[in-house]
Amino acid sequence: MSEQQPLVWDHAEDVWITDVDGNVFLDFCAGVLVANIGHSHPRYVAAVARQVEKLCNCYDFPTAERAALARKLVEISAPHLGRAFILTTGSEAVEAAMKMVRRASGRPEILAFGGAFHGRTYGAMSLGGNVGVRAGFGPVVPGILRAPFPYCYRCPLGQRSDTCDLACIDHLDYVVKTQSCGELGAVITEPYQGGAGSIIPPPGWFERLEEWRRRNGLLLVLDEVQSSFGRTGTMFAYEHWPIRPDAVTLGKGLASGVPCSAVLTTDEIVADLNPGDLSSTSGGNPLSAAAALASIGIILSEDLADNARKLGAVMDAGFRAMMDRAPRLGDVRGMGLAYALEMVEDRETKAPSPAAAMRVVEESFRRGLALIAPIGFHGNVIRIAPPLTIDEGALKMGLDIIEEALAVA
C-alpha cells in the first residue's frame, strides 16, 4: 500500500482541514467516505456533547436513543426492510449479515465477487476478493464462492463491454457448477467496488443479477457500508436499481465519525434467530445512536443526497474534460460524489501507472488538496470522495488542483 499524504490533522470544519502547522487543505476524502455531513457540523457536535453528558454505554439494555435509531433506519429504508440490528463497525455488520443469511437459508455457501472489500475480520476478509486483504492470514473461512465482478475497463473475462451482453452474469452458472458443494444460499456484493478502484457495474448488471439469484433461490446481501447515506446521490445506493436486497449492511456515513454500523433486513431473515445469537458490547450504545440520529437528520434536512447527485454531474463533466488534456488519465468512473481516476502509462495499452497516481496525490497535497493514497488492484486509482456538504465553488477549486496535478503526472 502506498503511503498517505504527510498531512497531520489538527482540526476540521465542513470541507476544510487545518493541520498542526496551521496549513489549510480542502478535503476530497471525507475520512474515507465517513464524514458525509462534513467535519464538526454544529448540530452534530451539539448532539454528541449532550449525549456524552448524559450516558455513553449501558451494554445491551434498551435506551431511547437505540430505539429511535432503529425506528429511523427502518423508516427511511425500503418498506420490506423492517428490522435494524445496530453494531459498531462495518466489518461487524458484514459478519452479522453473513450469520443471518446462513441461518435463514439453511445453506452455508455464499457467492462473493473478485475485487470485493467487506472488511478485515475473518468472515468479512474471507468474503473479500483481493489477496492484499488475506495475505498471511489464511486459511480463510470456508464456504465462499468467487465470481468475476464487471470491471469493464479491465474485463476479467477478456470481453468488450459493447459486445459482451453481460457475460459475467452468464459466467455465474459456471462458478456454481465448478466451486459449489450444492449448498449455496446467498450472494453478497457492494453496489460499487470501492477498494478495488471504485468500480461501477455497467447498466443492466444489477437487474440481471437480481433475476439470476431469484431464479436460483438465493438471498441477496448488499454491502452499503461506504455507499449509503447520500454518497451516490440517493440515500441508499440500492435505490438506483429495481432490486430487493434481503439484508443491507451500513456503516461509515451512518454516524459520520462516531463508530456505528447496522444491518437492515427483513422479518423472514431474523425469524429463526434466538436471543443471544447476535450481540455486541458496544453496538447501539447511546453515544453512537445519538451521533447517527444527528447525522441522518442533517443529511435529510439539508438534502445532501441531492447535493451529491447535482455536484456529481459537475464532477463527472470536469474529469471527462480533463481526459482531453491528460493522456495518462485512462478512465473516469463514479456515482454521486464517489469518483475514481485510473492512471495508465498510455490509453492504448492501458498499462497501469501507480507512479502517476502517486504523483497526482503528492502534487495535490502541495497545492492544498487532501486525498488518500492510490487504491485498486494495481495501486493506480485515485479515489475522490469529498464531504456531501461541499458547494460548487469548493468542488471546482478541487478539480482545478487535480488538473494541475495531472499536468505533471
Cα–Cα distance measured from residue 106 to residue 181, given in angstroms and rounded to the nearest whole number: 14
Cα–Cα distance measured from residue 223 to residue 118, given in angstroms and rounded to the nearest whole number: 7
* Residue spans in the chain of domains classed CATH 3.40.640.10: 44-301
What does the pLDDT average to over 263-267? 98
C-alpha grid cell for residue 323?
481526459
Q: What is the pTM of this model?
A: 0.96
pLDDT of 222: 98
Residue-wise pLDDT for 206-243, tens only, equals: 999 999 999 999 999 999 999 999 999 999 999 999 99
* Residue spans in the chain of domains classed CATH 3.90.1150.10: 9-37+303-407
Pairing status of strand 247-250 against strand 219-224: parallel
Residue-wise pLDDT for 95-146, tens only, equals: 999 999 999 999 999 999 999 999 999 999 999 999 989 999 989 999 999 9
3-class state of residue 247 by DSSP: strand
Residue-wise pLDDT for 269-307, tens only, equals: 999 999 989 989 999 999 999 999 999 999 999 999 999
Confidence at 391, pLDDT banded by 50, 70, 90: very high
**CATH 3.40.640.10 is the classification of domain 44-301:** yes
**Among all chains, which residue has been given the C-alpha cell 505533471?**
408
pLDDT of 1: 40
| Percent above pLDDT 70 for the chain | 100
Residue-wise pLDDT for 247-256, tens only, equals: 999 999 999 9
Residue-wise pLDDT for 287-296, tens only, equals: 999 999 999 9
Contact 97, 263 (CB under 8 A): yes
Pairing status of strand 9-13 against strand 16-19: antiparallel
pLDDT of 374: 96
Name the CATH superfamily, with its identifier, for domain 9-37+303-407.
Answer: Aspartate Aminotransferase, domain 1 (3.90.1150.10)
Q: How many residues does the chain have?
A: 409
